[in-house]
Chains A and B, each alone.
Chain A
Amino acid sequence: MLFNSYGFLFLFAPVFYFVYWRCKTVDQKKVASLVASYVFYGWWSPKFALLMLGTTSVDYFTAKWIEDSPTPHKRNVWLAVSMSVNLGVLGIFKYFDFFVGSVNHVAGAPLLPLLNVILPIGISFYTFESMSYTIDVYRRKTHAVRRFLDYGHFVTMFPRLVAGPIVRYTDLAAQLRELPRSLGAAAVMRAAHFFVLGLAKKVLFADILATKLVDPLFARSATLSLAEGWTAAVGYTVQLYLDFSGYSDMAVGLAMLMGLRLPRNFEMPYKAENPSDFWRRWHTSLSTWLRDYLYIPLGGNRASKLGVSKNLFLTMLLGGLWHGANWTFVIWGAYHGAALVLYNVALSKLSFSPPKLVQRALTFVFVVFGWVIFRADTIGKAREVMVAMLGAHGLGAAFIRASLPMLAWLGIALAISLTRDTYDLSPPGKRWTAALLAVLFAICITRLSAPSPFLYFQF
């Protein structure tokens, strides 16, 4: 089920929130949330809801057994079981066919059979959340949850189940213990503010840019002019941000309506001044996860210069692979990994630093080129778009003339991406600002007759 669908907005959400706030006890609320979340997820595929129930059960029990184990050896064994199950499920559903396909391609013959399995939606998100929980219990950062209801409620909470933010149990534990009994008008207004602005980012900007500019241009990557190449690349840069941050805003708003606060996932990433800064601002719930559960265990900053570089590069390479089973994601991860290494080893040590505006512009261009690799179906197609961006196929003045309204829309979307975020805007306090928000909501509603999935669902 999509947040941007009539079914969700006019059936699922009203019924769920009505029942949720009619529940008198915390446990009743958790049961309501658990049932609703399984319905929400099972809407796509009931059998994948069973898969989620399976992995949730494994992590629930292994975490308890880790905490109860009398010896370090047993703790290690149960952690290994949890990691193996989580990474195994991820490996089978997400990466098996990719690796087999690559092996077969190199061999030039179908040496190994493909599984041809469908990727369960959101599996990368909830698997990482489950893994962080068992690792935190292993590290004694948190206690194991003693009731399945508590753990199931945490893992499956529908607002952020399929595309994050990737929430850790330690972030939410205190909130989940004491769910509020009621919600005040200020909180509801704030939730509406987040949800409506997120919905607007998605349906008024990301979707329109995708269908009118980005998808048609990427579909004919071989023949793009300079203007078309840059429009495709910048268009996708803006589309991806507004799509994903729009989803995150909606998730934050929906969680607020349950009386919960989710962590911030974006902090104006296109205002980053260097690659390192970009990763402090983009999908922060993933980058901090990678930092805490991959980069630091690899040795983090406590290694030699070469060691730190290796850790950075490897973390980004695996971060790239997390996004999808395709060589384009691996190369995209390597591209960012190499940039982080270069920045940390050399650029950050320079005795002079260019003006902030120049740093931001250079970082933006670097990020845009990265998104071309990320968006393209194949490395060859990414190369075609980049060649076009370097002006190999002419300026494309006719395209600019013919696409002025859409280019203006892209300009507005870019300006929004570069200037203000939902967190920087105050929820409506006056009647007229609330009326404006309502008008924006109504406009969004008229664009939901053919809802499109969020880009990060595929990861």
Chain B
Amino acid sequence: MISIDDAESKADHDARPALRTFAVVGLGLVLAVALLNLIVNPLGAYPWTVLRPLTWSARQTKVTLMSQVPPPDVLVLGSSRSMIVPKAEVDGALGPRTMFNASVDSAKAEDMYLVCEEGLAHGFHPSVVVMGVDLEAFYDPAETDIRTLANPALRSHLSADRQLAAYGTIGGTILSYTQIADSIRSVKTARAGYPKDKFRFDDTDGTFVWVERPAPVVPAEQNAGLNARFLAYRGLSTWRLAMFARTLSELRAHGARIYVYIPPMHPVLVEALRENPRYIDVHGKVVALLEAEKAKGGVVAFRDFTEISSFDGLADDFSDPLHINEENAARMTRTLLESR
């Protein structure tokens, strides 16, 4: 007859190989994933490069250019939808000026603030600021783009606690499944050969320039993704609203006249989004916010260019449903700078 203690120790003895296997396989897999992502570094989040980063980000390019160009008279802030603000139109409306377009892709309110701070740190004292504010600039939940957090120059302008959290976020991505997929894609792309660059940024003013213009994208293809993004939009993030207010007050303190606009979308996309109650809600709130800024003199002008009729734009002059081409950009810039 065996006692309970004996039975327990036999159960423990029997369980040891399984437990050892669990620990070895579990830890081994987690370490393997971490190692793969660290070495491949598909987002360019860590300070070394074995393979070219998979995801494109204008952040590093713009930060580098800002350290090289002389301080401009006109500064453009915004997302990829504001990367084309033709200098000729700016000169036409305001007289000959130097300009720098500091727009970065997927820019949220904090991106504009951090880019602005980086510019100020390089001695920028713009007399005019043109800001393209996407509705998604205030997206809640407010998770800062990993490409912003991974950029040492931009990260340095965050508060100390957010910098600390940034290291945690970057660390957390080491094990994320999306990064595993990116690492695998990165390796595959490296083996297949990198495609030629389709665009570049002008070395003198940071403006987006097509090297090889792509075929236009059908609006409906972008529609589903954008609809889903707005459905997940919980409201305007308080922190992002604060970052935006801080950007404006910082620029005003430096004597800048600020022109703000909501960038245009293709009419087909606007039509589809009108069915989305979250979009209607967010659009109304952002417009009200910017109208209020204008009313209290925080900005010189505000224009909602969501609909192309607001600046006599053409539906054919889009590179894709969210991005206007040079012709529409010229019309839009002219209308904005003539606004009061």
Chain A interface (Cβ < 8 Å from any Cβ of B)? 6-7, 184-189, 192, 211, 215-216, 219-220, 222-223, 427-431, 433-435, 437-439, 441-443, 445-450
Contacts and interface: CB of A to CB of B under 8 A. Distances in A.
Interface footprint category on B: 35 or more
Contacts of A443: 177
Contact of A438 (B21, B168, B172): B21
Contact of B16 (A185, A211, A442, A445): A185
A7 B175 CA distance: 13
B176 interface: yes
B175 A448 contact: yes
A379 B8 CA distance: 54
A214 to B, nearest CB: 12
Contacts of B180: 446
B8 A6 contact: no
28 contacts: A186-B8, A186-B11, A187-B12, A188-B19, A189-B18, A192-B19, A215-B231, A219-B231, A429-B15, A429-B18, A431-B17, A431-B21, A433-B18, A434-B25, A437-B22, A438-B24, A438-B26, A439-B29, A441-B26, A442-B33, A446-B33, A446-B180, A447-B176, A448-B176, A449-B169, A449-B172, A449-B175, A449-B176
B175 A184 contact: no
List 4 A-B pairs, minimum CB-CB distance, nearest first: A184-B12, A442-B29, A438-B25, A438-B26
B171 interface: yes
Given A435-B22, A442-B29, A220 B277 contact: yes
B143 interface: yes
Contacts of A449: 169, 172-173, 175-176, 178-179
B30 A431 contact: no
Interface string B23-43: 111100110010000000000
B288 interface: no
Interface in B271-323: 275-278
B232 interface: yes
Interface string B170-198: 01110111111000000000000000000
A434 B19 contact: yes
B12 A434 contact: no
A220 B30 CA distance: 39
B338 interface: no
Nearest to B31: A442
Nearest to B23: A438
B177 A442 contact: no
Given A186-B11, A442-B30, A431 B143 contact: no
Nearest to B277: A220
B175 A186 contact: no
Contacts of A187: 12
B14 interface: yes
Contact of A6 (B9, B11, B175): B175
Contacts of A211: 232
Given A6-B175, A185-B12, 11 more contacts: A7-B168, A184-B11, A215-B231, A220-B277, A434-B17, A438-B26, A439-B25, A446-B33, A446-B176, A447-B176, A449-B175
B228 interface: yes
B175 A445 contact: yes
Main secondary structure of the interface of B (DSSP, over half): helix
Contacts of A441: 22, 26
Main secondary structure of the interface of A (DSSP, over half): helix
A342 B301 CA distance: 65
Interface of B: 8-9, 11-19, 21-26, 29-30, 33, 143, 168-169, 171-173, 175-180, 228, 231-232, 275-278
Contacts of A192: 19, 22
Contacts of A446: 33, 175-177, 180
Contacts of B277: 220, 222
Contacts of B228: 216
A450 B178 CA distance: 11
Nearest to B11: A186
B172 A431 contact: no
A63 to B, nearest CB: 34
B176 A185 contact: no
Question: In the complex, which of the residues A192, A428, A445 has the most CB atoms of chain B within 10 Å of its own CB atom?
Answer: A445
Contacts of A6: 168, 171-172, 175
A441 B29 CA distance: 9
Question: In the complex, which of the residues A7, A219, A220, A441 has the most CB atoms of chain B within 10 Å of its own CB atom?
Answer: A219
Contacts of B143: 450
B18 A442 contact: no
Nearest to A192: B22
B8 A434 contact: no
Contacts of A450: 143
A442 B19 contact: no
A277 to B, nearest CB: 34
Given A216-B231, A438-B29, A446-B175, A429 B22 contact: no
Nearest to A437: B22
B22 A189 contact: yes
A450 B228 CA distance: 18
Contacts of A428: 18, 22
Contacts of B17: 431, 434
A215 B230 CA distance: 12
B169 to A, nearest CB: 8
Contact of A186 (B15, B26, B231): B15
Question: In the complex, which of the residues B11, B18, B168, B278 has the most CB atoms of chain A within 10 Å of its own CB atom?
Answer: B18
Contacts of A445: 30, 33, 175
A428 B14 CA distance: 11
Contacts of B16: 185
Given A184-B8, A219-B231, A447 B177 contact: yes
A434 B11 contact: no
A443 B180 CA distance: 11
Contacts of A188: 15, 19
A429 B9 CA distance: 15
A7 B168 CA distance: 9
